[in-house]
């Protein structure tokens, strides 16, 4: 039986009320020095659901893969890669939305000086933002847990197709399956029982894992340090589309607040970071960020 990782957070006490006025974000962006911390909510308008929103994957009883389960179970790895074969195709069809493009525009104008994304879909980079720190890695890469070789997910896709010629029929029956934020889709166990997983092409025996941080796995310390440096130099930390439930993102909100750096959060629904925020704005991200770009005049 799959165990559900700790993914939920319940508000405690009275949190500051949310606003529907984006003026605070406009003023902060106009002043410059903004560091963006984005979450799954920024990609929902591209067709990729978040975890905890109104239509989030957790509401469909989706249980994300944990690092311990992936490394400890051959069956879990088979299930993950079979489901990922369908999810990967949906991910690469997704396109940046107006929110991604707005962040890229503000970064190009020098008003956003850093972007930290908790997303693994690569859409912020596809929108044109450079030097994005991928806090949780990227589904576009695969890493060997034995020899450490990093390769392209597209390379693995070809090898898995070759190893599983009959799986195309299964894929055809599940093309409408909704992709989850971690890049897989729901698929019955009987559909993946015969799926063949391949080993590392470099060392020949190594276990392959997507180059993402699974639940239960630590973010590499050098990546955390890079994010802390960005936040320390920020004039404002702007959180976009994250409930901040897990510590990997929340720690940067705490860091900013402790350093006296204003924190603005744009999210539909309360977040675990609200108590440290100067303001939370509850608006759809694409519409709000487009308005910010227009009002700032870039």
Could you tell me the pLDDT band of residue 182, with boundaries at 50, 70 and 90? low
- Tell me whether residue 4 is in a domain: no
Together in a domain, 84 and 188? yes
Residue 193 has what pLDDT? 82
The pLDDT score that the predictor gives to residue 85 is 86
Q: Is the pLDDT of residue 262 over 90?
A: yes
Residue 274 belongs to a domain = yes
Q: Specify whether 298 is located in the same domain as 273.
A: yes
Mean pLDDT, the chain, integer: 88
Does residue 152 belong to any structural domain of this protein? yes
Domain that includes residue 68, residue range: 59-93+140-212
**Could you tell me the CATH number of the domain that includes residue 279?**
3.40.50.1220
100 in the same domain as 89: no
Residue listed under structure tokens 């559900």: 4
Q: How many domains does the chain have?
A: 2
Same domain, 81 and 173: yes
Q: pLDDT tier at 62 (50, 70, 90 boundaries)? A: low
Residue 59's pLDDT is what? Answer: 43
pLDDT above 60 (res 136)? yes
Is the pLDDT reported for residue 58 higher than 50? no
pLDDT on residue 132: 97
292 lies in a domain?
yes
Do 164 and 208 reside in the same domain of the chain? yes
| pLDDT tens profile 148-174 | 999 999 999 999 999 999 887 776 665
Task: Give the pLDDT confidence of 39-56 residue by residue, as tens digits.
Answer: 999 999 998 886 544 444
Torsion region of 56: left, alpha or beta (phi above 0 gives left; psi -120 to 50 gives alpha): beta
Q: Is the dihedral of CA 213, 216, 222, 227 positive or negative?
A: positive
Better-scored residue on pLDDT, 14 or 215: 215
Which residues are catalytically annotated? Answer: 136
pLDDT of 68-96, one tens digit each?
A: 999 999 999 999 998 888 888 778 889 99
| pLDDT in the model for residue 35 | 98
List all residues 6 or more positions away from 282 whose beta carbon is below 8 Å from its beta carbon: 18, 19, 20, 266, 267, 268, 269
């Amino acid at each position: 039986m799959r165990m559900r990782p700790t993914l939920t957070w319940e508000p405690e006490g009275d949190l500051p009320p949310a606003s529907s006025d984006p003026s605070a974000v406009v003023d902060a962006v106009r002043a410059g020095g903004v560091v963006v911390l984005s979450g799954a909510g920024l990609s929902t308008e591209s067709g990729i659901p978040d975890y905890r929103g109104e239509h989030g994957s957790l509401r469909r009883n989706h249980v994300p893969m944990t690092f311990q389960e992936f490394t400890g179970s051959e069956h879990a790895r088979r299930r993950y890669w079979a489901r990922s074969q369908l999810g990967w195709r949906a991910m690469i069809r997704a396109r940046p939305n107006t929110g991604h493009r707005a962040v890229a525009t503000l970064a190009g104008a020098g008003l956003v000086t850093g972007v930290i994304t908790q997303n693994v879909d690569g859409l912020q980079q596809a929108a044109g933002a450079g030097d994005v720190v991928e806090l949780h890695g990227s589904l576009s890469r695969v890493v060997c847990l034995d020899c450490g070789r990093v390769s392209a997910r597209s390379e693995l896709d070809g090898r898995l197709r070759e190893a599983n010629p009959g799986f195309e029929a299964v894929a055809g029956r599940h093309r409408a399956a909704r992709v989850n934020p971690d890049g897989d889709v729901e698929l019955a166990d009987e559909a993946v029982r015969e799926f063949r997983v391949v080993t590392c092409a470099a060392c020949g025996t190594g276990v392959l894992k997507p180059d993402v941080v699974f639940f239960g796995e630590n973010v590499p310390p050098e990546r955390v340090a890079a994010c802390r440096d960005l936040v320390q130099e920020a004039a404002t930390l702007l959180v976009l589309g994250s409930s901040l439930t897990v510590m990997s993102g929340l720690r940067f909100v705490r860091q900013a607040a402790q350093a006296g750096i204003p924190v603005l959060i744009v999210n539909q629904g309360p977040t675990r970071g609200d108590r440290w925020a100067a303001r939370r704005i509850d608006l759809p991200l694409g519409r709000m960020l487009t308005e910010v770009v227009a009002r700032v005049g870039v």
